[in-house]
Structures are given as structure tokens and as C-alpha cells.
Structure 1
Amino acid sequence: MVFMFITAAVLAEICSALPLSGSIYIWAAESAGPKYARFFGFLVAWWSTTAWMTFTAGNCQSTANYIVSQLAVWEIDFPGGVGNENVKWRAMIWAISEGLLVVSIAINYLPPRWYSHVFKFTMALMMLDFFLNVIWLPIAVHNTYGFRSASDVFTQTYNGTGAPAGWNWILSFLFTAGTLTGFDASGHIAEETKNASVVAGRGILYSAFATGILGFATTILFLFCTPPLDQVFALDAPQPFVQIYALSLGKGPSIFMTVIATLGMIMNTSIAVVASSRLVFAVARDGVLPLSGWIGRVDSSGQPKNAVTVIFVFAAFLLCSILPSQVAFTSLVSAGGIPTIAAYGLIAMLRLFMTPDSFKTSHFYLGKFRKPFYLAAVLFNGLVFAVMISPFYFPVDAESFNFACVIFGAVTIFAIMSWYFTPASSWLRQEQVEQALRNTSGDAAPVEHDGSLGDHDDPK
């Protein structure tokens, strides 16, 4: 939590100074200074686009796992058996995932004035889920299999990875990686946010604080409410928590909790598409992507609907990898969080070494704390990055190899090639970077946006 908050503070500082759509790659470019701005801008543009677009497909498959886990709860036989080695099972997961993707994307075609209601409904749904887990679940556990002891919760370890004991413990970061990323989302919609230099940065901080504090409370609660480990590892559902609900609450109530979780994840995915579509739009608007002229357009209401369509096509295609191999899909999805973590650490490192005294106009300027914060963010995100590209099981063989490092490397190579072959006059010219740095260092007034996506907001 502490290092996640520090990372959020670093991002909020630069977001406040540069509140632009698709802002994370602009942050990286400006953090690098004029000489290396284009290179690091291209790098993070490819990283972040890959991460956010991959997240959409992964979230849909995770939501599908909640639904199909009810088969295990009600002990319904499935032809060929429940498991990823069964092609019929994978086909069902794929079909449900694609359907969930359609629903999540369709929400993004709603009129912009509806977005506020979507966000409010999503927050209400997630808080309902949280309070049901905080209140209902412990009561049910107390009346059924009982709580685990404090000794179990705080001292018991289990090595199911085959890794050395120390690294096995470090690998636990894999299960919190989803909450360690994504709080840069409010920066991606900054051009549609009033008073963005304050509100977007504050959104980064608030989302990190809410995730950390509520996530910590939920984690401790779940550790006390989880059945003994041997019973947990005997559960065969794709999403074992559905079976835990069934064991504690009963089969009927587990359906209700599954519906709440499924709706929450659908809405979560749709809101992630809002952020990722603005990122894709901004990258295309700056001419980095193929078909940039079409992708970078907005409709009559100022919404990047073409970028939403691109995300839909990419996610639908990525989900098709479930059919031949669940391992292939898992490897692709596991690579989704790595570029974001890498971008967080890279921005902090560039701020530490390249532009430590810039962005003084930020409403969240870190002052004398900036260098310790930059260093802490570099070290922490470096550790999480190492965990996410590490093998998950030891000894490593073809089946247990983590292809995330290969995918991340391939994306990085594409980014470097894109930087090399794109003329310097086409994107982030040096004089533009220098002007932006002057604006954010107190030599000129920073530009504020009026809350719409349009040509006048072009970061070029």
C-alpha cells in the first residue's frame, strides 16, 4: 500500500502538469527531456496500449469464470469434463467471454451524458459487493465451517510453486498485481474533465487510496474466512471463490453473489474501455498507429468511437486464442499488466535522473520529497516487474514457462522499430517538448482543457 501510494503520488504530480488524453506516454516523453522524449514516448505508447487493450479481453474471461463456476457448485456434469484440457469447455468459456465483451463494449456507445450514471451505478454495485462480503460472509462462515485462526492467517505459508521459500513469498505479488496498476486511468480522460489539472491528479490519488485501504481490509477478511488450505486446493471451479460462497452462504445465495460479481466486472470492463479508448485515440491522433487517421477521429459528440471499435476487434481476436490453448491465452493476458508496471517505474526513473526539477506548476508538486519518492517508485515497480516476468512454477519446462517476458520483449521491439522509422517531424518534435517543459516548469502558464476532445487539444 505504501509504495503504491508513492507511485500514485508520482503519477499525480506529472498528470496535474500534463492533463492530456493518453497522457501516460506524454508523461514519459516529457519526463525524459527534449533529447530522448520521442524514444521514450514511443516506448510507453506501445507498452500502455498493449496493456490496456489486453486487459479488456482478460477481464471478460475472468468474468466468464464466475459464471461457469456455478456448474461446479451444482455438480452439473459437462461433456468431456471441467478443465482447460477439454476443447468443449474452452469453447464454452470463449463463447461466454465474447458475449460479455459485446455487452461491455456496447455500454461505451451510449450517449456521453449517460456516463455519469454508469459510473455511479458501478460504484454503488461495487460498494454493495464490498459490504456484503464484510457483513454477510463472516456471519455465514461463523455459522458453517468457522474462521481460521490468527496463527493461520498471519504465519502459515504454503509453497505450491516449487520456488525457493523467499521467492515463493515474493510471488504473492502476482495476486495483487491487478490492484497495483490502472490508477493512471483518470489521466487518460483528462481532456474530458473540467479543471483537469486538479481533478485528474486527485482521481489518481483517490483511486490508489481507495484500492489500497479497502483492498487491505478485504484481504484480511478473506484470509480469516477462507476454508483450510487443503480444502481450498481441492476446489475444482475455475473461480474457486464461487465455491467458497457456496460452502459458507449456501448454493442459492452463491448465485446472488455471483451475479453481483459478474455485473460488477462487466461494468469494470466497460469503464476500463473508456480509459483505454482515450489512450488509443490519443496515440492514433499523434500518428503512431496504423490507420491513425481513422482511429484518431471523434464523432459529433466528441467521443472516440472508432478507438472503441478497435479495442473491440483486438479483444475479440485475442479471446480466440482460448480455443487452441488456454496456456497461450493466459500468457497473453499475464503480459497485460507488465507494460503498465514498467511504464510506472520508467516514468519515475526518468523524473529522478532526467527532469528532477521540472513540472513545478503541478498542483501536486512533491517538492523536497520528489527524489525519495521517485527512487522508491523505481525500486518497488522494478520488484513487481521482476515478479511478473518470473516463472510461476519451478522447475521450468515448456508448459510452465512464462511467455510474458517474450511478449513484452516483442512489444518493445515493435516500439523501437516504430520510433526508428517514423520521421521526427511527424511526432513530438524537439521544440514541442521544450515548449511543454517550459510550460510545466513555471516559465509559462500551463494549458487547461475545456472538457472535450477536439483538434485544439492536440498535444502536438
Structure 2
Amino acid sequence: MITAAVLAEICSALPAAGSIYFWAAEAGGPKYARLFGFVVAWWSCTAWTTFVASLCQSTANFILSELPVFGVTSLITDTGDIKFRAVQWAVSEGILFLAIGMNYLNPKTYKWIFRIASGLICLDFILNIIWFPIAVSQTYGFQSAKFAFTATENLTGAPPVWNWMLSYYVTAGILVGFEASGHISEETQNANVVAAKGIFTSALVSALMGFPMVILFLFCCPDLSKFDFDYPQPFVGIYAQAMGKGGHLVMNIVCILGLFFNTTVSGVASSRLIWAVARDGVLPFSGWISAVSANKEPRNAVTVMLVVAAVLLCSILPSATAFASLVSAAGVPTITAYALICFGRTFLTPGEFKNAPWSLGRWSRPLNFIALIWNLYLAAVLFSPLEFPVTGPNFNYSPVIFGAITIFALLSWWFMPEDKWLPAARLGKVHDFEEELNANRTGRSSSVSGPSS
């Protein structure tokens, strides 16, 4: 929530496509603006494209988890089996092309896609808080409060404190993305208010809906010692055990459709980010990527996102660990981008953005510092080994992937001429605006007091 609040403040001052990298540039101040901008541009483009790919794999896992439910034995749902990974990859690629293909439609259809996605999320929430616990009460029963609030299980081999920290591994990867409304702010009316509110309210609603859901799922969890984990997505098995084949199928269809449309919505935000970064000359072949269609759609950026996501999904084939590292790497660049922005806002430009419609006022600097510490902690969790002792098969490659992305960013920053990046008219926009506003205030004050005699 604090991270969302500080991002909403800077979005209110700078509503622009590709917002997060532009925010980073302004947060870095005149001295580090270009460096911060290039680094966050590469981090964010990689993160959002990888996020799209991971959503497709998640959707495929929900679909393929139906095989053991209905007793299909011709294909073993084991990620260690190359045959299953090949099927998983093919289904994921099909979902990717269908979901992102909707990004080529007329932009007027997006509002309906957004509404459908939001409606499915709400439906999934309602079914989970009403139908699911009723089904659990009539089948295997609820877990005790002791299990829900105090039980832990160490399957990592890490020390107890480290094992507890690793419980953030899954949630850390999804505590991102709420800045999406900022990426489409150039297509939003009254964006300096609406986009900023979108950032904060998306995090607020996620917290209000997500926390009780986590508690509910803990109480509705079956006996883990008797649960069959031969499902790519364990929740499908839990739903089947609680609701039976017919009931769980309804829940699964809602989940699949929700993930599908979420992929489409994520594609909209991702393509706008890629387009904005290319528009400012950060990426290779920026001229072609930033070209728009007759309807002002960034179709080339959509194509780049589609191709890169399709290539990333190919990492499913050689190893399940490789793609898991990519999923982890999807969260790390965004989280570190948040941290870098907060670092700049805390130490380099603490007095800026005070005149934004969404302003944190005197709380801005302390909240940015808190958000900096929090996001550095989340990044450390995502970089951590997941099992001990560390071996080749269980090695977490996300630090390696993150390092490679950062090297590409630094190379592009070093070799790209400064005069070809981010026109000067845009850089320093906030500083110029605040100077003009202060000058106007001084002028009005002088006119009110009148000339001295």
C-alpha cells in the first residue's frame, strides 16, 4: 500500500505512457536521470513481457490439471517429464497467441475486455468466499485455527527464519503491477487524478480482497499428508476434493477465463510500456517498434511483446526450473524499479512533486524510505535459493537473468547518444512546472501587497 501511494504521487505529477521509466528518470534528478531511465526501462520491459508469458503458463496449468481429476493416464502431469513439458509449452503458446491477439482489435473494445476481466475476478472472489467453504464443510472439513495461524513446514532446508522469509517468494512476485494504469495514462482522461487513483485503489482492493482470501484458504486446506500433489496447479485438486468433478469444473473455468483476460489486459499495459520506451530511443530498432497504426495503435510494440513472450515460453522445454527462474525474474525487475524510484525520491529529489494533485505532502519522504526498504527485502527474497543445499537443478537463476538485463541496460545507456533520448522538453517537466507555479504565486502575492511607498 505504501509503495502504491508513493507511485500514485509521482504518477499524478507525470502521467505518461511508459510511466515507470519516466518516473525513474525524474526521480534521479538532473545528474542521474538518464541512467535511472535506461535501467528501469530495460527492467520494466523485461518484467512485463515475462509476466505475460508466466500468465499463459499459469492458465495452461489450470487446464492440464484436469487430466488427473478425470483419470487421464496417457499423459503424466509431471514437470520432470519432457513429454508433459512439451504439451504444457504448446498449450501455453496457444493461449499467448489468442490472448495477445486481442490487442490487435480496435481500442474501443478494450473497455469491454477490462470489464469482463474485472467481472470474472469479482465472480471468482464471491465463489471462493461462499461456495468453496460450504463445499469444504460438507466434505473433508476445516483446518483448526492453530494450523491456519501457527503451523509451518520447512521443505527448503533453510534455517527457520530464512524459511519464513521464503514464504514471501510466491507473494513477492505478484505484489507488483499496480502501476499498470500509469502506462495507459496518455489514453486516459484527467490522467493526473484518474491514473493515480487507479494505482492506489488497485493495491487497496487487492489487499482488502486478498488478505481474507489467504486466511480462508488456510482454513479450507485439506490434510496435506493425504493430499495428492500430482497437479500442475494444486488448487484444481483442492477444488475437486471439496466440490467434486462437476462443481470444481465451474470454478476452474472461471479461473481459466479470468487468467486469459488478465493476460490480454497485461498485454495492453506491456505494449504501451514497450512503445513508450522505444519512442524515446532506448531499445534497439526503436524507430520501427514505436511506429503506430492509422488508428494510433502501437501494433509493432504488441508484436515485439508477443514474439519475446513466445521465445521465453520455450524455456519450459529444457527444464521446469529454468522457467520458474524466469517467473521469479518477472517480479524482480519491477520490484527493484520501485526501489530505485523510492531511492531517488528519498535521497536525490525529496522536495519534488509537491504540487501533484495526488500529493503525500510532508509524509512523502518517510513513506518513500519505507517503500525502499520493503522492496529491497522483496528483491532479496526473490534472489534467494529455494532449496538447500544449492545444486544445479534447484539453482535460482533469477540473479543471473537480472544481472544480464542490467548489463544490457548499461550498454544501451553508454552507447546511445544523449541527444537521441528523451527530448529535453519532457525531461525536467516537473521541475519547470513547479518553478512556474512558484513564480505565479510570488507574482500574485506581490500584486496583492501592492508597490511599496
1:15 is matched with which residue: 11, 15, 22? 11
The answer to whether the 8 Å contact 2:342/2:371 transfers is yes
Query: Which residue is 2:222 aligned to?
Result: 227
Counterpart AA for 1:167: W
1:380 is matched with which residue: 347, 371, 374? 374
2:265 is matched with which residue: 247, 252, 271? 271
1:206 is matched with which residue: 198, 201, 219? 201
2:275 & 2:424 partners in 1: Cα distance?
A: 22
- Tell me, what secondary structure is at the counterpart of 1:336? helix
1:115 is matched with which residue: 110, 113, 124? 110
- Tell me, what secondary structure is at the counterpart of 2:31? coil
The answer to whether the 8 Å contact 1:360/1:441 transfers is no
Q: 1:64–1:36: structure 2 CA closer, same or farther, 3 Å change rule? A: same
Is residue 330 of structure 1 aligned with residue 311 of structure 2? no
**Aligned ranges for residues 403-418 of structure 1 at < 5 Å?**
403-418=397-412
1:440 & 1:88 partners in 2: Cα distance?
A: 60
1:31 is matched with which residue: 11, 20, 27? 27
1:158 is matched with which residue: 153, 160, 184? 153
- Tell me, what secondary structure is at the counterpart of 1:398? coil
1:111: Cα distance to partner? 1.0
TM-score (norm 2): 0.94
Structure number with larger C-alpha Rg: 2
2:96 & 2:425 partners in 1: Cα distance?
A: 42
1:260 & 1:213 partners in 2: Cα distance?
A: 21
2:96 is matched with which residue: 89, 94, 101? 101
Query: Which residue is 2:56 aligned to?
Result: 60
Q: 1:431–1:123: structure 2 CA closer, same or farther, 3 Å change rule? A: closer
2:73 & 2:414 partners in 1: Cα distance?
A: 55
Q: Cα deviation per residue 1:121-171 (whole Å; 9 max; x = unaligned)?
A: 111111111100110000000000000011110011111111110111111
The answer to whether the 8 Å contact 1:32/1:354 transfers is yes
The answer to whether the 8 Å contact 1:179/1:211 transfers is no
Query: Which residue is 2:256 aligned to?
Result: 262
1:45 is matched with which residue: 35, 41, 45? 41
The answer to whether the 8 Å contact 2:13/2:430 transfers is no
Query: Which residue is 2:449 aligned to?
Result: none
The more displaced of 425-434 and 137-146 is 425-434
1:29: Cα distance to partner? 0.4
Query: Which residue is 1:136 aligned to?
Result: 131
The more displaced of 39-48 and 329-338 is 329-338
The answer to whether the 8 Å contact 2:65/2:77 transfers is no
The more displaced of 309-318 and 431-440 is 431-440
1:421 is matched with which residue: 398, 406, 415? 415
1:288 & 1:362 partners in 2: Cα distance?
A: 27
Query: Which residue is 1:74 aligned to?
Result: 70
Q: 1:254–1:330: structure 2 CA closer, same or farther, 3 Å change rule? A: same
Cα root mean square deviation, aligned:
1.4
Q: 1:27–1:444: structure 2 CA closer, same or farther, 3 Å change rule? A: farther
1:428: Cα distance to partner? 3.2
- Tell me, what secondary structure is at the counterpart of 1:34? helix
2:310 & 2:137 partners in 1: Cα distance?
A: 43
Q: Cα deviation per residue 1:248-286 (whole Å; 9 max; x = unaligned)?
A: 000121111111100000000100000000000001111
The answer to whether the 8 Å contact 1:17/1:440 transfers is no
Query: Which residue is 1:457 aligned to?
Result: none
2:335 & 2:5 partners in 1: Cα distance?
A: 15
2:426 & 2:136 partners in 1: Cα distance?
A: 60
Query: Which residue is 2:451 aligned to?
Result: none
Is residue 169 of structure 1 aligned with residue 199 of structure 2? no
- Tell me, what secondary structure is at the counterpart of 2:295? coil
1:282 is matched with which residue: 276, 284, 293? 276
Q: Cα deviation per residue 1:57-110 (whole Å; 9 max; x = unaligned)?
A: 11101110000001111221034x331222111111011001100111121111
1:67 & 1:405 partners in 2: Cα distance?
A: 31
Query: Which residue is 1:390 aligned to?
Result: 384
Q: 1:82–1:435: structure 2 CA closer, same or farther, 3 Å change rule? A: closer
1:367: Cα distance to partner? 1.0
Q: 1:428–1:110: structure 2 CA closer, same or farther, 3 Å change rule? A: closer
The answer to whether the 8 Å contact 1:15/1:200 transfers is yes
Counterpart AA for 2:383: I
1:432 & 1:274 partners in 2: Cα distance?
A: 24
2:183 & 2:255 partners in 1: Cα distance?
A: 26
1:98 & 1:357 partners in 2: Cα distance?
A: 47
Q: Cα deviation per residue 1:326-351 (whole Å; 9 max; x = unaligned)?
A: 22222222211100000111101100
Counterpart AA for 1:27: W
The answer to whether the 8 Å contact 2:173/2:382 transfers is no
Counterpart AA for 2:2: I
Query: Which residue is 1:458 aligned to?
Result: none
1:133 & 1:381 partners in 2: Cα distance?
A: 30
Q: Where do 5+ consecutive residues of structure 1 fail to align?
A: 446-460
1:306 & 1:208 partners in 2: Cα distance?
A: 30
The answer to whether the 8 Å contact 2:352/2:430 transfers is no
Q: Where do 5+ consecutive residues of structure 2 fail to align?
A: 440-453
TM-score (norm 1): 0.93
The answer to whether the 8 Å contact 1:361/1:442 transfers is no
Runs of 4+ in 1 over 4 A off after TM superposition: 429-432
The answer to whether the 8 Å contact 1:20/1:191 transfers is yes
Counterpart AA for 2:409: A
1:431: Cα distance to partner? 7.0
Q: Cα deviation per residue 1:384-412 (whole Å; 9 max; x = unaligned)?
A: 00000000111111111100000001100
- Tell me, what secondary structure is at the counterpart of 1:108? helix
